[in-house]
Amino acid sequence: MLTRTIRSAVLTAAVLLCSAVPALVPAYAAAPADGGPGWTVAPASSGGTRPSAGGRPYFYLEGAPGTVLEDALTLTNPGKKPVTVRLRGAEAYHTPAGGSALRATDTTWITPAARSVELPARTSARVPFSVTVPATAEPGDHPAAIVAAAGGRETGVRVRLRVSGPTLSALTVEDVRVDKGPGLIRYTLVNRGNTALTPHLDVRAGGLIGGDHRIAGRTLPVELLPGRRVSLTEKWPHPPALGAAAVHLVVTAGGGARSTGTASAVFVPRWWPAGLLVPALACAGLWSLRRRHARRPGTGAGPGPYDGEGAEGSDRADAGDSGSTGSGKSPGGTGDPGGSTDSEPATAGAAT
């Protein structure tokens, strides 16, 4: 009886213990599958200049020069093994292709509360950090990020830091040119203000013979940081086949920023040299044939059939007729037949 009572008590205790275990274990995400992201880093649900209970995609901090701003991030390790996460601040910059990247060294005003955090399995940790704004900082946007690295993987969370003071949104479009080979419009955008810009592009292009092209209201996939420049390209799907063409770019951004740029080009088809060669060869052949024809006997521009000898014979006959008008007398008028040797031809001419 006693044994049965003990067994019943042990079973009841085991059931109660098993029921209590789920309540003691925090409701963290399940361990990621092989190849999954593992640990994660994100802004804490509250804090910063613009806290949000529903989560923030990035940090936003704003303050005057000489102030110290504070915020916090959340590290989560859903795996079964502990992870050591290293933290640092990094300055953002533009890549030649137009994207954004982070400096490899800590060159920002960001200071994490801990440079290295031991994160046990299936736990989360809140890590504060501070941003010290120098007294000489210029007003405007100063993009940066907090970078977390562990297990050969590195990821960052954007920090949009704005120093209080007068702001200016301005940009310029420069170096606009047409690359006729691949059919590209190349240009450079320069942020002349102190605020980060998201440009919108409007392109008008066309020529005398086709090539009309327009892109209206397209947002460029780039955030133009203050004082930075980026080189971009725009595809021209159907450039003109022949003749002059012009392109006109209009770029706008928030805060009233606007700039324009133009360029022109002359399109010549690949068969254009052959098209010039054929008429040239035809003209050369026609000229050669005319020269050959002019060199042949009897085909030149000489005397006609009634000129030349015929005309000379006619002149001679006229001369004979003129001689026969006399009375057969000599030029001396003596009428002596022996005195003139031309009396016989003259008589013959008269008989004729």
For 132, how many CA atoms within 13 A lie in the half-sphere containing its CB?
A: 7
Return the percentage of the chain with pLDDT > 70, whole number: 57
Q: Looking at the domain assignment, is residue 19 inside a domain?
A: no
Looking at the fold, whether 52 and 137 belong to one and the same domain comes out as yes
By three-state DSSP, how is residue 127 classified?
strand
Q: Domain count for the chain, please give it.
A: 2
pTM exceeds 0.85 for this model: no
Read off the DSSP letter of residue 34. T
Judge residue 186's burial from the number of C-beta atoms within 10 Å of its C-beta, 0-12 exposed, 13-18 middle, 19 or more buried: middle
Q: Which domain holds residue 247?
A: 171-267
Residues near 86 by beta carbon (within 8 Å), at least 6 away in sequence: 115, 116, 117, 148, 149, 150
Burial of 180 (0-12, 13-18, 19+ CB in 10 A): middle
CATH number at residue 85: 2.60.40.10
Sheet of 184-191, strand order: 171-179, 184-191, 229-235
Decide if 158 contacts 205 (C-beta within 8 A): no
Examine the pLDDT at 82 and tell me if it is beyond 90. Answer: yes
Lowest mean pLDDT among 114-118, 208-212, 303-307: 303-307
Mean pLDDT to the nearest integer, 240-261:
88
Give the domain-ending residue among 247, 267, 287: 267
- Residue 334 domain flag: no
Distance (Å, whole) CA 103 – CA 190: 20
Whole-Å CA distances, 306 to 298, 316, 322:
14, 15, 22
Give the end of a domain, one of 144, 163, 182: 163
Q: Is the dihedral of CA 207, 209, 211, 216 positive or negative?
A: positive
Give residue-wise pLDDT tens across range 265-274.
886 765 545 5
Q: How far apart are CA 246 and CA 205, in angstroms?
A: 6
> Does residue 182 sit in the same domain as residue 126?
no
What the block records as the tokens of 290 is 């005319």
Q: Mean pLDDT throughout 100-118?
A: 84
Considering the domain architecture, whether residues 65 and 158 belong to the same structural domain is answered as yes
Mean pLDDT of 242-257: 88
> Among 239, 267, 295, where does a domain finish?
267
102 and 198 share a domain? no
Query: DSSP letter at 21?
Result: H
User: Both 262 and 191 in a single domain?
Assistant: yes
Alpha carbon distance 246, 262 (integer Å): 7
Count CB atoms within 10 A of the CB of residue 298.
Answer: 5
Query: Do residue 45 and residue 108 come from a single domain?
Result: yes
Please give the average per-residue pLDDT across 102-107, as a whole number: 72
How much of the chain, in percent, has pLDDT values that exceed 90?
Answer: 38
Q: What is the predicted pLDDT for the residue at 278?
A: 55
Residue 86 has pLDDT above 70, yes or no: yes
Residue 240 lies in a domain: yes
Q: What is the pLDDT of residues 273-319, one digit of tens each?
A: 554 555 656 666 676 677 667 766 655 544 544 444 444 444 444 44
Is 34 within a domain? no
- The values of phi and psi at residue 157, to 5°, are -120, 125
199 and 178 within one domain? yes
